[in-house]
Structure 1
Amino acid sequence: MLYNAYELQRTMLSGAAAWASVGAELLTNPSLPMGYMGFGPYMASALDVFAHATAPRGKPTFDIESVEVDGTLHAVTESIVLHRPFGNLLRFERAGLPKDAPRLLIAAPMSGHYATLLRGTVARMVESSVVYITDWADAKMVPESEGRFDLDDYIDYLIGFLEFIGPNTHMLAVCQPSVPAFAAAAVMGKHKNPCRPATLTMMGGPIDTREAPTSVNDVAMNQPLSWFKHNVIATVPLSYPGAGREVYPGFLQLAGFMAMNLGNHMMSHYGMFKHLVEGDGESAGATKAFYDEYRSVCDMTADFYLQTVEHVFQKHSLPKGEFVHRGEVIDPGAIRDTALLAVEGEKDDISGIGQTRAALHLAPNLPEAKKRYYLAEKVGHYGIFNGSKWRGRIAPVLEDWMRTHPAVETDKKASKAKA
């Protein structure tokens, strides 16, 4: 019933958004005088803001056509190199990259937004690396015949992607996937998998949410797992390919994030309204672009969502040494040569300071020279992986870490032996 009610509301708002858009265009038509006097500009701007806020949205595109390096534009190619039911592996490569350029796998969050939320992350890193990214599917679009998808599967997908790319690939986990990415590195280290990552960078990840818990952590801790099962899990309606699949709907995730900072979002829209009234289309367009991405949401499978709530936020299974993958307890001590970099934002209100840094203490057999912590001052959660501070301050730290640790120790020794 929850999903059906949302679909009904979405249908009605889509019609209202269309009419509001028409009204805004009429009021701003140069041939009509009402747009230049009285309340005309205010009415047009209000209708424009309403139309933008309620318009339906699909999956965005990365649309990275080129990047500028040392004052020169280089074309960027995007391709699907591996197709899986619950997520494709995308590759981005710019023209002019040296043959020995590092390969970087970006593990995108499966948290209600599409991988395009990391567009700025990809655009910056493709300047110096061949970039791969996990393009997770919208669970409502995956038929039930494809089976389930849970935390074990997420870890298996990361391992499979690393094996496809090849040895000495670097991995970057943004936010939520820090936990399964760390687990994947430990599993591959235990089995001495030659494709284990050369480096693993975790940014704003909930490795140990007991450290500086945020309001997000409080929500997960204040309710039993049964509450989440009964209140936020819905069944995909018949109108989608994944009909019958149990999911955590993206619209609920979006509602939660909007509610966390409702005042800021209201002020952003008020600012957009004022820019439109003043005729400042560029400033209004920047706000619209942000919310076009922010409001583009997708569903995640109930299995994955509930296991994440249980093991990451409630039981703290990884830092307690109780995290299990395919029936085997994950041993962080198996990470012996994958260099770890933990990045946190000083103003992060999603993952508190210390939650990601905890990963460095979980790998007792990794030399200290292969561990690094970086605290980005005056940076919030989103700014860790997007924006000017990411491009100018954080990305160079990651690039330097990758250059410093280009390969796992065994491969370095093998290369010296052959030489």
Structure 2
Amino acid sequence: MLYSVYEFNRLAMTPWRAAANATRQALRSPMNPMADSIAGRSMAAAAELFESVTRRYAKPEWMLDHTTVNGQCVGVSEEVVWTKPWCSLLHFERDHDALIAARGNETPDRKVLFVAPMSGHYATLLRGTVEAFLPDSEVYITDWQDARMVPVTDGRFDLDEFTSYVREMVSLLGPDVHVVAVCQPGPPTLAAIALMAEDDDPNRPASMTFMGSPIDTRLSPTVPNKLAEEKPFDWFAGNLIHTVPAPNPGAFRRVYPGFLQLAGFMNMNLERHVDAHWDFFTHLVDGDGDNADKHRTFYDEYLAVMDLSEEFYLQTITDVFQEHKLAKGEQTHGERTVNPAAIRDIALLTVEGENDDISGIGQTQAAHTLCSGLPDALQQDWIQPDVGHYGVFNGRRFREQIAPRMKTFMDETGEAALASR
């Protein structure tokens, strides 16, 4: 019922949004004598603010059509190299001839697979992460599907399926790939790699990096962690799971709606978001286009959310946040128990943010304890000062400090891991 009410409200606001757009355009027309007045700019700003907070934001575009190599522009195109109902694997393919011309040689770059979060936002949340690696890496990323768009005939998708998907994609890319799991996919990605290691899979990756991941949420629990533990399973199942209404492609599928996840994110830092929108309004009134554009860019991404399947969301709540199965050695995949100690020749890097309020300090580092079969020479840990959760994988400090460290780790420690096989 809640989902239907949400959809009805969104549709009911359509004419009001249209009116707000028309008002904004009329007030900003150079033919309008009010365009340059305080009153005109204020009303236009209010109309744009109203429209921006009431619309449904579509899945963002990647907008990565080029990169810069040695000062030269190299074209980039998106290529789907693997697909299933719940995910596509994207390759950001750089123009081969332009790359050789910029480099002066055909030396192959490291191959990096980013496992994006499936936690409410689209994979484009990692746009800055991908952009930082494009000049010197063959970049692949998981592009998870919005459950609202997956017909019920395509079946279920749970944490076990997520693990299987990751294993298939790693196997496709081969043993020289470096796997990077950002936030939520840490536990299932570690499980997939542990299964590959135990099977002595020849396609197991050269290295694995976990960034702000809830490997063991018993350590430095944050507000979301405490909520997941304090509320009983029945509360999540009874209050947060709803049915997708028609005419969406995934009509009648039971999901955890993205708009509920977004509401939770917003409430965690409500005052900051309110201040940001007030600043946006004043920037528009003052004609400060640069800062207004920065606001639009951030919130066009932040407010674009996707639904999660019921079974994936609830299994994540129980296995990761309530019962801590991976951390306790109780995680299973089908009939098999996941054993990270079986990992002996895959380099491990963990990255955490000093001010992370989603995955506290130590939660990601727990991967080192679980991977007890790894020699010290194949393990590294880094805590980045002065960054929160988002700053672990995006922003200036990521570009200037974290990404270079990751690349050095992949080139040196990852190669050492391959050589040890």
- TM-score normalised by structure 2 residue count: 0.95
SS of aligned partner of 2:90: strand
Q: Does 1:325 align with 2:325?
A: no
In 2, distance between residues paired with 1:322 and 1:413?
29
SS of aligned partner of 1:207: coil
Q: Percent same amino acid among aligned pairs? A: 47
Q: Does 1:166 align with 2:180?
A: no
Alpha carbons of 1:141 and 1:43: their partners in 2 closer, same or farther (altered >3 Å)?
same
Report the more deviating stretch, 66-75 or 216-225: 66-75
Q: Does 1:304 align with 2:304?
A: no
Amino acid in the other structure paired with 2:211? M
* 1:34-53 alignment runs, 5 A limit: 34-53=34-53
SS of aligned partner of 1:319: helix
Partner of 1:139 in structure 2? 147
Amino acid in the other structure paired with 1:259? N
Gaps of 5+ in 1: 415-419
Q: Does 1:412 align with 2:416?
A: no
Residue deviations 1:308-327, cap 9 Å, x none?
Answer: 01011111111111111111
Partner of 1:417 in structure 2? none
Partner of 1:55 in structure 2? 55
SS of aligned partner of 2:140: strand
- The answer (yes or no) to whether the contact 2:68–2:74 under 8 Å persists in 1 is yes
Gaps of 5+ in 2: 101-105
- The answer (yes or no) to whether the contact 2:356–2:387 under 8 Å persists in 1 is yes
Residue deviations 1:311-353, cap 9 Å, x none?
Answer: 1111111111111111111111111111110001111111111
Report the more deviating stretch, 50-59 or 266-275: 50-59
Q: Does 1:202 align with 2:210?
A: yes
In the TM superposition, residue 405 of structure 1 has moved relative to its aligned partner by: 2.8
Residue deviations 1:228-269, cap 9 Å, x none?
Answer: 101000111121121111111111111110111111101111
In the TM superposition, residue 274 of structure 1 has moved relative to its aligned partner by: 1.0
SS of aligned partner of 1:58: coil
Residue deviations 1:120-161, cap 9 Å, x none?
Answer: 111111211111111001111111111111111001000000
Partner of 2:161 in structure 1? 153
In 2, distance between residues paired with 1:201 and 1:406?
10
In 1, distance between residues paired with 2:247 and 2:38?
45
In the TM superposition, residue 195 of structure 1 has moved relative to its aligned partner by: 1.1
User: What's the Cα RMSD here?
Assistant: 1.4
Amino acid in the other structure paired with 2:203? C
In 2, distance between residues paired with 1:10 and 1:179?
35
- TM-score normalised by structure 1 residue count: 0.96
Residue deviations 1:245-304, cap 9 Å, x none?
Answer: 111111111111011111110111111111111101111011011100111111111111
- The answer (yes or no) to whether the contact 2:113–2:139 under 8 Å persists in 1 is yes
Partner of 1:72 in structure 2? 72
Amino acid in the other structure paired with 1:36? D
In the TM superposition, residue 408 of structure 1 has moved relative to its aligned partner by: 7.0
SS of aligned partner of 1:171: strand
- The answer (yes or no) to whether the contact 1:18–1:55 under 8 Å persists in 2 is no
- The answer (yes or no) to whether the contact 1:93–1:126 under 8 Å persists in 2 is no
- The answer (yes or no) to whether the contact 2:64–2:131 under 8 Å persists in 1 is yes
Q: 1:184 aligns with which of 182, 189, 192?
A: 192
SS of aligned partner of 1:36: coil
Q: 1:232 aligns with which of 212, 230, 240?
A: 240
- The answer (yes or no) to whether the contact 1:185–1:196 under 8 Å persists in 2 is yes
In 2, distance between residues paired with 1:332 and 1:211?
18
Amino acid in the other structure paired with 2:214? P
SS of aligned partner of 2:93: strand
Alpha carbons of 1:32 and 1:246: their partners in 2 closer, same or farther (altered >3 Å)?
same
Amino acid in the other structure paired with 1:359? A
Amino acid in the other structure paired with 2:212? G
Partner of 2:30 in structure 1? 30
In the TM superposition, residue 386 of structure 1 has moved relative to its aligned partner by: 1.3
In the TM superposition, residue 100 of structure 1 has moved relative to its aligned partner by: 2.4
Partner of 2:372 in structure 1? 364
- The answer (yes or no) to whether the contact 2:157–2:312 under 8 Å persists in 1 is yes
SS of aligned partner of 1:39: helix
In the TM superposition, residue 37 of structure 1 has moved relative to its aligned partner by: 2.7
In 1, distance between residues paired with 2:363 and 2:16?
43
In 2, distance between residues paired with 1:99 and 1:330?
37
In the TM superposition, residue 174 of structure 1 has moved relative to its aligned partner by: 0.4
Partner of 2:136 in structure 1? 128
In the TM superposition, residue 99 of structure 1 has moved relative to its aligned partner by: 4.2
Partner of 2:103 in structure 1? none
In 2, distance between residues paired with 1:27 and 1:346?
46
- The answer (yes or no) to whether the contact 1:45–1:277 under 8 Å persists in 2 is yes
In 2, distance between residues paired with 1:170 and 1:180?
16
Residue deviations 1:6-44, cap 9 Å, x none?
Answer: 101111223322211211121222211223335222121
In 2, distance between residues paired with 1:30 and 1:330?
65
Amino acid in the other structure paired with 1:78? E
In 2, distance between residues paired with 1:232 and 1:14?
26
Report the more deviating stretch, 202-211 or 47-56: 47-56
In 2, distance between residues paired with 1:413 and 1:52?
54
Amino acid in the other structure paired with 2:37? M
Query: How many residues are treated as equivalent by the alignment?
Result: 413
In 2, distance between residues paired with 1:127 and 1:12?
46
Alpha carbons of 1:14 and 1:392: their partners in 2 closer, same or farther (altered >3 Å)?
farther
Q: Does 1:246 align with 2:290?
A: no
Amino acid in the other structure paired with 1:55? R
* 1:279-294 alignment runs, 5 A limit: 279-294=287-302
